[in-house]
Structure 1
Amino acid sequence: MHDFPAGRFAVWATAWLTGRTSYDEALDALLGDTAHRVSGLPGAEEAVPLGWALTTLRTLGERRFRLVLPVAGDVRGLPRAPGLTELALDAGQAAVGERLALVPEPVGTEVVQWTAFDLDGVPPPPPAVEGSLRAASGALDLAVGDAARTLVDLDLARWHPEVPTLLAGLAQPAHVPGMPPGTDPVALSLLSRAQRLARVLDLALTDAPGAAVTTGQAAARDDALRPLSDAVRAAVTAAFNAIPR
């Protein structure tokens, strides 16, 4: 739950489309050391480099992309293009514009395969409910407080010694590399905290080595941590979708 290539695509594509960064800067930020290929792009019969997709966005008249993090039972923000919902649920993420939606799928550690969905003729989804950055931050704080007892009961510090460090880091200044210039400092802080808590959740929702966890105990744990998981998902979405003033 910590790597969001669809979020990076959404934020950098939007920054380029709105003139806040150059094409080369956006492409360098998106590629890094990884190869990216896009299939399903309108007008392309084969998979093409990600840079081709960026160029196509402007040709199609795109203005903004949003990150959508769908989960079972909540696919708000996803257009009903054939095959999109299923693939986005498998990936846990999608970058959605007005004319295209793109879903990333890591292939090993060095390749990301993107699938593009043409939204021409597809009814737009209802507008996603996007709270303010400060509202998302407050909800995240409340969820952390409510989950604290569960985290202690799970004795995560004993099974996963990195948990106290991750939690202590919530108060540290935000450092989120690879975001476009002009990104709201509140968005950076929110994303930094959410990513740390996503790591805590990954540990908390994994049975500790040697621990005898019954099905009932695991279900109770998952139920207790679900509000925190929902708040993390909302915080990540709000941070990536924030538009600088």
Structure 2
Amino acid sequence: MHEFPAGRLAAWATAWLAGRCSYDEALDAVLGDTAHRVTGLPGSDEAVPLGSALSALRGLGERRLRLVLPVPGDVRGLPAVPGLAAAAVEAGQVAVGERLALVPEEAGPEAVQWTAFPLDGVASLPPAAEGTLRAVSGELDLAVADAARTLAGLGLARWHPEVPALLAGLAKPAAGPHLPADHDPLAVSVLGRASRLAKVLDLAMADAPGGAVTHRQAAARDVALRPLADAVRSAVGAAFNAVPREPLGR
């Protein structure tokens, strides 16, 4: 849950399309040390490098991509394109524009396979409502306080000793994914905290070694941690989708 290639693509492609960074900066930031290939681009019958997809976005007239984090029962922000909702829910993330939607899938430890869904002829949907960065940051604080008691009750630290350090460090600045230089500093801070909490959730939602968690305990755990998962999801989306305000007078 704590890796968001669709978020990186949304943030950096938007910055490049708006002229806020160079093509090379955007491509390097999204690629990192990972190989990326894209299938389904209009006019292409085979997989192409991610750089070709970036160029295609500008050629199609895209102005911005947004990160959408769908879950079963909540696919707000997804255009009604055959196959898109199912693929996006399975991936847990998708970068959505006006002309294309791109869904990532891990294709090995150092490879990401993207599937492009053309949106021609599809009615544009208003983006899913997002809270302000300050609001989602506050919601994250409240959810953490409630979840801490749940995590303690589960005895999670006995199975995953790294959890206390992750929780204890939430008040400190946390490094998050590399974002454009002019990205909102609060968004960067929120994303760092949310990414750390996403790691905690990954550990908390995994069954204890040896199957020590019963089905009833697992169900209670899932219900108790759902507010934290929702808060993390909202924070990640708002942070990646934040764009700098234009200076007055422009």
After TM superposition, the score normalised by the length of structure 1 is 0.97
2:177 is the alignment partner of 1:174 = no
Structure 1: give runs of 5+ residues left out of the alignment: none
Distance 2:84 2:11 in 1: 20
The 3-state SS of whatever aligns with 1:85 is: helix
Q: Specify the alignment match of 2:18 in structure 1.
A: 18
Query: What is the match of residue 40 of structure 2?
Result: 40
Measured after TM superposition, the shift of residue 212 of structure 1 is: 2.5
Q: Distance in 2 between matches of 1:149 and 1:183?
A: 34
Give 1:19 shift. 0.7
The answer for the alignment partner of 1:70 in structure 2 is 70
Looking at structure 1, the residues matched to 241 and 108 of structure 2 have their Cα atoms a distance apart, in angstroms, of: 27
Between the aligned partners of 1:127 and 1:10, the Cα distance in structure 2 is: 13
d(CA) in 2 for partners of 1:76 and 1:214?
A: 33
Map of 1:5 onto structure 2: 5
Contact 1:76–1:126 (8 Å) recurs in 2: no
* Aligned residue number for residue 248 of structure 2: none
Uncovered stretches (5+) of structure 2, i.e. residues with no partner: 246-250
Corresponding residue of 1:190: 190
Superposed, 1:206-217 pairs within 5 Å as 206-210=206-210, 212-217=212-217
What is the identity, as a one-letter code, of the residue corresponding to 1:89?
A: V
Equivalent pairs: percent with the same residue? Answer: 74
Q: How many residues align?
A: 245
1:119 maps to which residue? 119
Whole-Å separation in 2 of the counterparts to 1:40 and 1:210 = 42
Helix, strand or coil: the match of 1:104? Answer: strand
- The amino acid of 2:226's aligned partner reads R
Per-residue CA shift, 1:134-185, capped at 9, x if unaligned?
0110111111111121111011122211011101111112322421111111
Do the aligned partners of 2:8 and 2:177 also contact (CA within 8 Å) in 1?
Answer: no
Trace 1:89-104 onto structure 2 (pairs within 5 A).
Answer: 89-104=89-104
Aligned to 1:135: 135
Conserved 8 A contact 1:80-1:125: no
For residues 121-142 of structure 1, give each alpha carbon's deviation from its aligned partner in whole angstroms, at most 9, with x where no partner exists: 0112243111110011011111
Q: How far apart in 2 are the matches of 1:127 and 1:95?
A: 12
Contact kept, 8 Å, 2:94 with 2:104, in 1: the verdict is yes
Q: Which residue pairs with 1:222 in the alignment?
A: 222
Partner of 2:202: 202
Letter in structure 1 aligned against 2:220: A
